[in-house]
Structure 1
Amino acid sequence: MLDERKTAILGAVVQEYIATAQPVGSGHIAKRPGVAVSSATVRNEMAVLEQEGFLVQPHTSAGRIPTDKGYRFFVDHLTQPGLLDETMNAQVGDFFAAAHGRLEEMLHRTSNLLTELTTYASVVVGPKADAAIVRSVQLVGISSNTATVVVVFGNGAVESELVELGHDLSDDVLARAAAHLSGALDGATIAAVAEIPPSGDAAVDLVCVTAFDAIRQVSADDHVYLGGAASVAATFDAVEVVRNVLHTLEQQFIVVSLVRDIVDRGMSVAIGVEHGVEPLSACSVVVAPVVVDGEHLGSVGVLGPTRMNYPQALATVDVVSERLGRRLGES
C-alpha cells in the first residue's frame, strides 16, 4: 500500500496523463492541488513509484506515464463512483424514453449512445432470443421450395431465417405448418420447447421440423452490437496498435468472450493485460451487466485506451446498463 504522499502524486500523474496523453514531469505535478511538496521531492517520489512498477519513463529525457499497475491502483483506491452530468443524464433519459420498436434496433442505437457519451468503442450484448416468450410465428413462401420463418418475441426481438424445404410445397401446406408452429410456440420460449409435436400430416411436419431447427439455432446466437471502433482507433498513434484493435473488434466471438469473462469474474474494469486478450493490451474495458428481475440478460461496456477517463466511463456504463435493464423489463 502506498503512503499518502505517493498516492497523491500517482493520482495526479494519472489524471494529468489521461487529460494530455503526454509524459508528466515532476515540476508540473508539484503545482497540482493536494500535492504541496517541492519539485525535487516529487521527482524522488516518482522515481520510487517507477521502481515499484506504478510509473514508467518512456524516454530518458521525458516525464513518466502510468503502467497498468498504476491505473489499477488509481481505479481501486482513487476513483469514486462518478455521476453523469445533467446534460448526459438527460440525453440517456430522452434516449430510452423514445426507444420503441424492434429490440435489435434499440440495442444498436444503445451502442451508438455509449460512443457518443464516452468517445470510446462500445459493446452491447443483448439477451438471447431463445429465452424470450414467442409472440407470433409466420412462414412466408419465397419460392416453391424455400420459405422464410419469422418469429416475433415478447421483448421486441425479431428473428428470421431462410429455410430450404427440399421439395415443392403449396401455400396451403405452409399456412397449416405456420398454424401448427404457432400452436406449439406461442406463449412459450424456444429454449423450453424440445420438439414440435406431430400434426398428423407428413408434409406439414417436415416444414415445422425444418423451420423450428433453423429458428432454434439462430435464436441461441449472441446479439452483439459494436460502435465507435474508429473513435477508439484514433486515440492511438502506433499503426500496429490501431490494426490490432480494429481487427480484434471485428471478431464478435472474441468481444463477447471478453465481456462475459470480465462480468463472470465480478469485475467492472479490466486494464491492459488483465483481460487476457493480447491484441487489446493497450486498451481497458469497462463493463456492467444488464439485469432484469434479478436475471443477467446481457452486458454493456466501453473499450478505450488504458488512459481512459475511468470515472466517466464507469458512470456512463452504470447508468446505461440500468436504464437498458429497466427498458427490457417493460417489454
Structure 2
Amino acid sequence: MLDERKTAILSAVVQEYITTALPVGSTHIADAPGIRVSPATIRNEMAVLEQEGYLVQPHTSAGRVPTDKGYRFFVDHLTSPKRLDQQSSATVGEFFSSAHGRLEEMLHRTTDLLARLTNYAAVVVGPRSEAVVVRSMQLVGLSATTATVVAVLGNGVVESQTIELPSDVSDDQLAAAGRHLAAQCVGSSLATVLPLDPSGDPVVDGVCTRAVTALVEGSTDDHVYLGGASAMASAFDAVDIVRDVLRTLEQQYVVVSLVSDIVERGMSVAIGVEHGVQPLVACSVVVAPVVVDGEHRGSVGVLGPTRMNYPQALATVEVVSERLGRRMQQAEAGDG
C-alpha cells in the first residue's frame, strides 16, 4: 500500500496524463492541488513509484506516465464516486423520456448517446429474446406441411420461425396448438416454458414443442450494438494500434465475450491486459449490467485508451445502464 504522499503524487500524475496525454514531470506535479513538497522530493517519490511499477519513463529525459498498475490503483483507491454533470444528466433524461419504438433502435441509439457523452467507443449488449417475457403468441398455417410461429415479446421484439408440420396434423389440431402455445407461453419467457404441459393430444404437443424449440434456437444470437469507434480511434497516436482496435471491434463475438467476462468477474473496469484481449491491450473497458426486475438482461460499456477519464466514464455508464434498465422494464410492462 502506498503512503499518503506517494498516493497524492500518483493521483496527480494520472489526472495530468489523462488531460494532456504528455509525460508528466515533477514541476507540473509541484503545482497540483494537495501537493506541498518540493520538485526534488517529487522526483524522488516518482522514482520510487517507477521502481514499484506504478509509473514508467518513456524517454530518459522525459517525465513519467502511468502503467496499467498505476491506473488500477487510481481506480480502486483514488476515484470517489462521481456524479454525472448536470448537462449530461439532462441529456440522458431527455433521451430515455423520448425513447420509443423497437428495442433494437433504442439500443442502437443508446450507443450513440454513450459515445457522444464520453468520446469513447460504446457497446450495448441487449437481452437475448429467449430471456424476455412473451406478450402474445400465434401459430399460422402456411401450407399442409409448414406453419409460422410468431411471438411478440415484452420488449417490443417480434420473433418468428417457420416450422415443419407432421403429415397427420388437421386444421383443428393446428388451431388447438395455437391456443395451447398462447396459454403456455404468454407471461413467461421462452427459456422457461419447456417442457410444456401436455394438452391431451400428442400431435398438438409435438407441434407446440417444435414451435417453441424453433423460437429458442432462432433467438440465441446476442444483440450487440456499437457506436463511436471511429471517434475513439483519435485517442491513439499509433496507426497500428488504431487498426488493431477497429478490426477487433468489428468482431461481435469478441466484444460480447469481452463485456460478458468482465461483468461475470464482478468488475466494472478492466484495464489493459486485465481483460485478456491482446489487440486491445492499449484499451480499458468500463461496463455495467442492465438489470430488469432483478435480472441481468444485458450490459452497457465504453472502451477507450487506458488514459481514459475513469471517474467520468464510470458515472456515465452507471447512469445510462440504470435508465436503460428502467426503460426496458416499462416496455415489458406495456407502459412504453
Q: TM-score, structure 1 length as denominator?
A: 0.87
Q: Once structures 1 and 2 are overlaid, which stretch shifts more, 96-105 or 277-286?
A: 96-105
Structure 2 residue aligned with 1:212: 212
How far does residue 115 in structure 1 lie from its aligned partner after superposition? 0.9
What are the Cα deviations for residues 138-196 of structure 1, in whole angstroms up to 9, with x where unaligned? 467889987764321123222244667899x9999987865664454333321122256
Residue correspondence of structure 1 range 153-164 to structure 2 within 5 A: 153-161=153-161
Q: Which residue of 1 aligns with 2:68?
A: 68
CA distance in 2, matches of 1:17, 1:146: 63
| 1:252-309 CA-partner distances (Å, limit 9, x unpaired) | 2222222222122221111111111111111111111122232222221111110000
Residue 191 (structure 2) aligns with:
191
Give structure 2 stretches of 5+ with no counterpart.
Answer: none
8 Å contact kept, 1:124–1:224: yes
Q: Which residue is equivalent to 1:10?
A: 10
Unaligned runs of 5+ in 1: none
Specify whether residues 151 and 199 from structure 1 end up closer, same or farther in structure 2 by C-alpha distance, changes over 3 A only: farther
| C-alpha distance 146-17 of structure 1, shift in aligned 2 (>3 A) | farther
User: Residue 79 of structure 2 aligns with which residue?
Assistant: 79
- Structure 1 residues 320 and 193, CA, compared in 2 at 3 Å: closer, same or farther? same
Alignment check: 8 A CA contact 1:103 1:158 kept: no
Aligned to 1:258, the other structure's residue is in SS state: helix
Q: How many residues align?
A: 329
Determine the C-alpha separation between the residues in 2 that align with 1:250 and 1:143: 40
Aligned-residue CA RMSD (Å): 2.8
Distance 1:10 1:163 in 2: 62
**Contact kept in structure 1, 2:283 and 2:306, CA below 8 Å:** yes
Aligned equivalents of 1:195, 1:51: Cα separation in 2:
61
Deviating more after overlay: 147-156 vs 300-309: 147-156
CA deviations 1:187-208 (Å, max 9, x no partner) are 3321122256679696x88876
Does residue 316 (structure 1) correspond to residue 316 (structure 2)? The answer is yes
Mean Cα deviation higher: 239-248 or 280-289: 239-248
Q: Given the superposition, is the C-alpha separation of residues 190 and 281 from structure 1 closer, same or farther in structure 2, using an over 3 Å criterion?
A: same
User: Per the alignment, do residues 73 and 261 of structure 1 end up closer, same or farther by CA in structure 2, a change over 3 Å counting?
Assistant: same
For residue 271 of structure 1, what is the aligned residue in structure 2?
Answer: 271
The residue number in structure 2 matching 1:246 is 246
- 2: CA distance, partners of 1:140 / 1:308: 52
Mean CA deviation greater in 35-44 or 210-219: 210-219
| Partner Cα separation in structure 1 for residue 217 and residue 200 of structure 2 | 22
Other structure's SS at 2:285 match: strand
**Who is 1:104 aligned against?**
104
Letter in structure 1 aligned against 2:127: P
Q: Is the 8 A contact 1:55 1:70 kept in 2?
A: yes
Cα 1:188–1:4 shift into 2, 3 Å: closer
Aligned counterpart, 2:59: 59
Q: Secondary structure at the match of 1:62?
A: coil
Residues 194 and 209 of structure 2 are in contact (CA less than 8 Å); yes or no, is this contact kept in structure 1? no
What is the CA deviation profile of residues 51-81 of structure 1, one whole-angstrom value per residue up to 9, with x for unaligned ones? 1111111122221110001101111111011
For the residues of structure 2 that align with 1:145 and 1:22, how far apart are their CA atoms?
Answer: 69
Match of 2:136, as an amino acid?
Answer: S
Post-superposition Cα deviations, 1:214-255, rounded to whole Å, max 9, x if no partner, equal 311122332222211112222112222112211221222222
Q: 1:149 to 1:238 in 2, by over 3 A?
A: farther
Q: SS at 1:273's partner residue?
A: helix
Whole-Å Cα distance in 2 between the matches of residues 233 and 319 of structure 1? 24
Tell me how far apart the structure 2 counterparts of residues 17 and 93 of structure 1 sit (CA, whole Å): 31
Separation (CA, whole Å) in 1 of partners of 2:113 and 2:3: 40
Q: SS where residue 297 of structure 1 aligns?
A: strand
Secondary structure in structure 1 of the residue aligned to 2:270? strand
Amino acid aligned to 2:38: S
1:238 counterpart letter in structure 2: A
Confirm whether residue 125 of structure 1 aligns to residue 131 of structure 2. Answer: no
**Identity over aligned residues, as a percent?**
70
With normalisation by structure 2, the TM-score equals: 0.86
- Give 3-state SS (helix, strand or coil) of 1:221's partner: coil
